[in-house]
Structure 1
């Protein structure tokens, strides 16, 4: 690796200050489109660093929770305005650090701004209800109490939106926060935290500690002074987070994987279905928990759909995310690239037919990046690994079905239940799909990927801990109901 000494070093953010870890261990964050470019250096922090951050959050939680919701909202509005001014800078950093295209990065940063403003407004909304008492001389009502200190364990695939959609509701409802960003997006996270710092948040209310999941992530799970943990990531890690939190009585929220299906009915608008399948499955290099993975197509339109799909997939331009003509960027890391390639090999070994792609990109200008071709399989059955396990890459598995009802049954044959979509003009099929599909996010004539910030988001089965993020549903996790009885 060519070390670039001009790349900035990003410290932990603790108690309102940027603080270097005594460990002095730095790790380079490299550009997945060019592994020779160092985007910045972040710290491999220690448990002592985490303890310092948690103590700061603990010390500030009482004064922060005593502020009115409107006052807390003012801080979020300020952070949103600063983030808006820095949108282009942060989007470019995101593209260079984790690979998504610049338009996607700009869209995600704009979404982070909107989330902050949405939750700033939550500070002026009701937090309880008056309940009739059997005692005519008493007043009974509910209010909400914050959890206290919230640990946020965020992934790399949405390095602005996901940390913000966890931190913003935690903060507006009176909690203080310790963020552990993914190492693959630590520089982007630091840029976001700079916006909170410059908005003037009181010291200790927002903290960030970078480092490994085995040290900092596990430390958040085990820490006795962290009252709630919100996690997005893999199922295996999420289960460890949940088990650890449960063992010590901390509240936890898990958003994990998906094996998301799209059903193409024989009466579907095939051009629209192809567009949605490609966007849902291959945009962001398939690195979304809501990405389309399994494509169930009724036999009558199977060949026509496949032909249209392949024609469009072959037009996809793979390249550096900062280049205007690029439609799909690299995998986030060499490890993720190798994981995707291993699943493609498994698909071929198990008898699926590779229709397109399946290889690492070696074109001139791409040889130093973690690029993989968009990949399409057919002749896939539900026993194959590529039909059962989350790949988190640009791989589509097309499956022919004889009947619409069969498609729903097969779509539900998975341990996951995050998102699902259907393309049809038949209202009966639409209603059947809505009622019978086992997924937390259901989309009709639209791609599986796509979450609106004001709506609850979360999965069924093994895709989540059965709580919901975003929208007004977020209050359910970040607060506890307090029932009050007042007797004159």
Structure 2
């Protein structure tokens, strides 16, 4: 009998009563390994009921005690890291080492959130006026939610949940239905770490579940990562219902290759960032922009040679560079883009279509694909492919390369490889993109800085993790207090008592 993945509500696994389910595949073999329930609106509202009931006691727990729960959670994740990585890999398709990286990047944000007692401190001004002190405090919003994608089933839920929980909120997670087991397991570990039941809930579902979260007035904030059309929809719907929203969408990340760049370093960077995790990363480099034909020709030749050496196979194998895509539909979508690139006139240097792995012929595999002479009007340049496809779009000079990255509708990440500090500094200052790497191919900031793209890659004023996360998940209350001395009380009495002018501090 096929395993049914439960919801996790009120500190325990809960079977769905809704009846609708979705298949969870093992991408390496193509087989259905489990099924996941798709919650009804009533089920989602019951989850929110549970979170709302549990939140006040958690909010009343002092930040230091909340931080200790996070510390214990980190310890438990490290204890179970191998188990979590295998579970993640089996549902997503990324390699074991990549799965461990997914978990680790999530844990780094939890480590940052241990500093909640400091991060939640307000401000204080004494003597702002005669006998008047002014101070502020950060308080939790209440019930908040995260809607997270399939490509990082550990990292992004932890990016969302960590700051929310540390700030005293109750958190409702709606993970991707494609690889939902790791989020449930993380919820179990939070309970083992001492998190009160109901403070972290996991509910599976599709648009019905999402719309219920977006329209329920008790959910005060929503964080989302996924495609740009859905990010726009969630942002607009959440705002229309009075919620804070922090929504991150698609990407088309460029890597600018200056003529003075170390070509060995560039090729390694492009191979790893372009094909790692089968290209299913929002921070994948999918466009190489060599400046000038001389370095472009050299880069194309080197990349073609390296692409042919890449090993693609089952996600749990020890000797593969990347594994399968998440579903058969994902493979077909990427293959469609490859054909479109050919039809539009790009030069196909390596074709990954029709790739099979012996003994795993039904797996969702796609070989590495490489295009050259790609122009900015082509679909494979404009649109996010989300697969193991790297394109070379040549630029005649630095200003054209800068403009390509700056003018693209997506502004998530970008990198420049050069030995020239002046060029790197100019590029970092002028490029119209949210995250910049200098000789770093995947410019994901460390946990105590914020993560977020610009333009159609991000919607909302505050980014993920770092100090922005605590601003997003809290509201600021400002208190003006006066404890007048005897002299002030006498002066007030002599002035007639009541004042009918706006207060000022003089």
- TM tier relative to shorter chain: over 0.9
**Pairs aligned (count):** 481
For residues 451 and 257 of structure 1, the distance between their equivalents in structure 2, rounded to whole angstroms, comes to 18
* Alpha-carbon contact 2:435-2:443 (below 8 Å) kept: no
Q: 1:133 to 1:286 in 2, by over 3 A?
A: farther
Picking from 458, 477, 482, the partner of 1:482 is: 477
Structural mapping, 1:327-346, within 5 Å: 327-346=321-340
CA offsets 1:102-156 (integer angstroms, 9 cap, x no match): 0111122233333223212323445211236641311111211211111110111
Q: Over aligned residue pairs, what C-alpha RMSD do you find? A: 1.5
* Alpha-carbon contact 2:120-2:470 (below 8 Å) kept: no
**Which of 273-282 and 356-365 deviates more?**
356-365
Deviation at 1:211, TM superposition (A): 1.5
For residues 441 and 63 of structure 1, the distance between their equivalents in structure 2, rounded to whole angstroms, comes to 38
Partner residue in 2 for 1:450: 444
* Alpha-carbon contact 1:150-1:178 (below 8 Å) kept: yes
Deviation at 1:237, TM superposition (A): 0.7
Partner residue in 2 for 1:303: 297
Partner residue in 1 for 2:355: 361
For residues 363 and 116 of structure 1, the distance between their equivalents in structure 2, rounded to whole angstroms, comes to 38
Q: 1:140 to 1:400 in 2, by over 3 A?
A: same
Q: Where do 5+ consecutive residues of structure 1 fail to align?
A: none
For residues 345 and 451 of structure 1, the distance between their equivalents in structure 2, rounded to whole angstroms, comes to 35
**Which of 89-98 and 113-122 deviates more?**
113-122
For residues 276 and 329 of structure 1, the distance between their equivalents in structure 2, rounded to whole angstroms, comes to 19
CA offsets 1:159-218 (integer angstroms, 9 cap, x no match): 001000100000001110110000011112111111112223112111110121x11112
Deviation at 1:80, TM superposition (A): 1.5
CA offsets 1:205-260 (integer angstroms, 9 cap, x no match): 11110121x11112111111110000011111111101111111111101111111
Structural mapping, 1:174-189, within 5 Å: 174-189=168-183
Picking from 83, 96, 105, the partner of 2:99 is: 105
CA offsets 1:13-64 (integer angstroms, 9 cap, x no match): 11222211222444331111111251x3321221111111101111122111
Picking from 286, 289, 292, the partner of 2:282 is: 289
CA offsets 1:329-375 (integer angstroms, 9 cap, x no match): 11111111111111111111111111112413124234211111111
- Whether 2:267 is the aligned partner of 1:271: answer no
Structural mapping, 1:204-353, within 5 Å: 204-212=198-206, 214-299=207-292, 300-353=294-347
* Alpha-carbon contact 1:41-1:187 (below 8 Å) kept: no
For residues 263 and 356 of structure 1, the distance between their equivalents in structure 2, rounded to whole angstroms, comes to 21
For residues 267 and 105 of structure 1, the distance between their equivalents in structure 2, rounded to whole angstroms, comes to 35
- Whether 2:392 is the aligned partner of 1:398: answer yes
> When the two structures are superposed, what TM-score results if normalisation uses the length of structure 1?
0.96
- Whether 2:61 is the aligned partner of 1:67: answer yes
* Alpha-carbon contact 2:132-2:482 (below 8 Å) kept: yes
Partner residue in 1 for 2:184: 190
**Which of 441-450 and 170-179 deviates more?**
441-450
SS of 1:401's partner is: coil
For residues 245 and 112 of structure 1, the distance between their equivalents in structure 2, rounded to whole angstroms, comes to 25
Deviation at 1:285, TM superposition (A): 0.7
Partner residue in 2 for 1:468: 463
For residues 246 and 472 of structure 1, the distance between their equivalents in structure 2, rounded to whole angstroms, comes to 22
Q: 1:35 to 1:350 in 2, by over 3 A?
A: same
For residues 398 and 94 of structure 2, the distance between their equivalents in structure 1, rounded to whole angstroms, comes to 35
Deviation at 1:472, TM superposition (A): 2.1
Deviation at 1:484, TM superposition (A): 1.4
* Alpha-carbon contact 2:260-2:418 (below 8 Å) kept: yes
For residues 128 and 360 of structure 1, the distance between their equivalents in structure 2, rounded to whole angstroms, comes to 58
For residues 17 and 100 of structure 1, the distance between their equivalents in structure 2, rounded to whole angstroms, comes to 28
SS of 1:408's partner is: helix
Picking from 115, 121, 133, the partner of 2:109 is: 115
Partner residue in 2 for 1:19: 14
> When the two structures are superposed, what TM-score results if normalisation uses the length of structure 2?
0.92
For residues 367 and 395 of structure 1, the distance between their equivalents in structure 2, rounded to whole angstroms, comes to 21
SS of 2:151's partner is: coil
Partner residue in 2 for 1:414: 408
Partner residue in 2 for 1:434: 428
SS of 1:34's partner is: coil
CA offsets 1:305-347 (integer angstroms, 9 cap, x no match): 1111111111110001110111011111111111111111111
